[in-house]
């Protein structure tokens, strides 16, 4: 048995958003190691140099995903460079944490724009090419917040729950084109975003509620992505894979 038949991504082109840091960077590194050509998108200007640091012909694109009208252009750039787009990982996300009674309209709008509207319309743009190819893998990074209420996370929970159900609709409509669409819902992950809120006593209390007794590492989320974008995961679609050390089962 050749393990590459199961997890190898040679010849595949992947677009990953939020690729400059945290989970997104770990995903890019792993997909690259599995043989994919990776297009890294981030609003952080460092993304170009990060892409050139990976050996091979990877590309870094600086873009703010909240510019919805520009999203089809990102997919076009991937197709212009590499002739196809096999994998889309909508990973970029933000968290603006406010008590439910104090959520501001601007933070609500900004959260839904980056966490829900942008992944939806980037999927729509990529899906058009994938349908023509008769093959595609879309993975959207949601959160445990998609299935469970977290204090101070009203806009964030709403955006991630929306992303899960939008992914299921895309999965249902696009199965006939050989496209799978899934979400991954991590617990707290040890990244800048995760550590900003979950620190000190709050982190200790949260870890005590997670059966695994700890937060997740970025490469553990990347590993779940690698499976879902593999050819052999073709029968897994519309799923919300919860990677939370058991937090939501107790």
Ligand X SMILES: NC(=O)c1ccc[n+]([C@@H]2O[C@H](COP(=O)([O-])OP(=O)(O)OC[C@H]3O[C@@H](n4cnc5c(N)ncnc54)[C@H](O)[C@@H]3O)[C@@H](O)[C@H]2O)c1
**120 given a catalytic annotation:** no
Task: Decide: is 18 part of the binding site for ligand X (CB under 6 A).
Answer: yes
- Alpha-helical segments (H) within 43-199: 47-53, 71-82, 105-112, 118-133, 154-174, 192-197
Residue given tokens 């990877």 in the structure block: 58
- Report DSSP state, residue 246: T
In sequence order, the β-bridge partners of residue 17 are 41
Whole-number minimum distance, CB 219 to ligand X, in Å?
A: 12
Rounded CA separation 157/246 (Å): 18
79/217 with CB nearer ligand X: 217
Among 16, 23, 78, 88, binds ligand X (CB under 6 A): 23
- Choose the catalytic residue: 120, 129, 135, 156: 156
Considering only residues 180 to 209 of the shown chain, the ones binding ligand X according to CB under 6 A are 186, 188-189, 191-194
The Cα-based distances of 208 to 153, 201, 205 in angstroms read 20, 11, 5
Rounded CA separation 241/87 (Å): 17
Whether 90 and 118 have beta carbons less than 8 Å apart is answered as yes
Among 24, 60, 162, 238, binds ligand X (CB under 6 A): 24
Rounded CA separation 124/170 (Å): 9
Residue given tokens 């994919």 in the structure block: 36
- Segment near ligand X (CB under 6 A); pick from 5-13, 31-39, 42-50, 226-234: 42-50
Among 85, 87, 114, 226, binds ligand X (CB under 6 A): 114
Whether 9 and 36 have beta carbons less than 8 Å apart is answered as yes
Task: Decide: is 141 part of the binding site for ligand X (CB under 6 A).
Answer: yes
- Segment near ligand X (CB under 6 A); pick from 13-21, 53-61, 173-181, 231-239: 13-21
Residue given tokens 């997919």 in the structure block: 75
Whole-number minimum distance, CB 235 to ligand X, in Å?
A: 25
- Segment near ligand X (CB under 6 A); pick from 20-28, 131-139, 205-213, 234-242: 20-28
The residue count for binding ligand X (CB under 6 A) is 26
> What mask of x and - would describe binding to ligand X in positions 51 to 80, judged by CB under 6 A?
-------------xxx--------------
Residue given tokens 């501001």 in the structure block: 104
Whole-number minimum distance, CB 62 to ligand X, in Å?
A: 8
In sequence order, the β-bridge partners of residue 136 are 179
Whole-number minimum distance, CB 193 to ligand X, in Å?
A: 3
Judged by DSSP in three states, 40 sits in: strand
147/236 with CB nearer ligand X: 147
Task: Provide the binding-site residues for ligand X, judged by CB under 6 A.
Answer: 18, 20-24, 42-44, 64-66, 91-94, 114, 141, 143, 186, 188-189, 191-194
């Amino acid at each position: 048995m050749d393990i590459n038949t199961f997890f190898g991504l040679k010849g595949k082109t992947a677009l990953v958003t939020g690729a400059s840091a945290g989970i997104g960077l770990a995903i890019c590194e792993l997909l690259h190691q599995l043989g994919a050509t990776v297009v890294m998108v981030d609003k952080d200007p460092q993304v170009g140099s990060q892409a050139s640091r990976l050996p091979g012909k990877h590309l870094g694109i600086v873009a703010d995903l909240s510019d919805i009208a520009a999203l089809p252009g990102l997919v076009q750039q991937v197709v212009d460079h590499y002739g196809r787009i096999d994998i889309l990982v909508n990973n970029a996300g933000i968290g603006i944490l406010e008590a439910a009674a104090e959520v501001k309209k601007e933070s609500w709008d900004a959260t839904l724009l980056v966490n829900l509207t942008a992944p939806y319309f980037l999927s729509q743009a990529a899906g058009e090419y994938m349908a023509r190819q008769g093959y595609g893998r879309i993975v959207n990074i949601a959160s445990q917040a998609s299935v469970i209420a977290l204090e101070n996370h009203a806009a964030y929970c709403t955006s991630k729950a929306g992303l899960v159900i939008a992914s299921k609709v895309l999965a249902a409509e696009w199965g006939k084109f050989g496209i799978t669409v899934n979400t991954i819902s991590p617990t707290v992950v040890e990244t800048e975003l995760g550590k900003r809120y979950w620190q000190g006593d709050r982190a200790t209390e949260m870890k005590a509620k997670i059966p695994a007794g700890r937060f997740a590492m970025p490469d553990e989320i990347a590993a779940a992505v690698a499976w879902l974008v593999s050819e052999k995961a073709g029968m897994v679609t519309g799923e919300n894979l919860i990677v939370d050390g058991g937090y939501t089962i107790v």
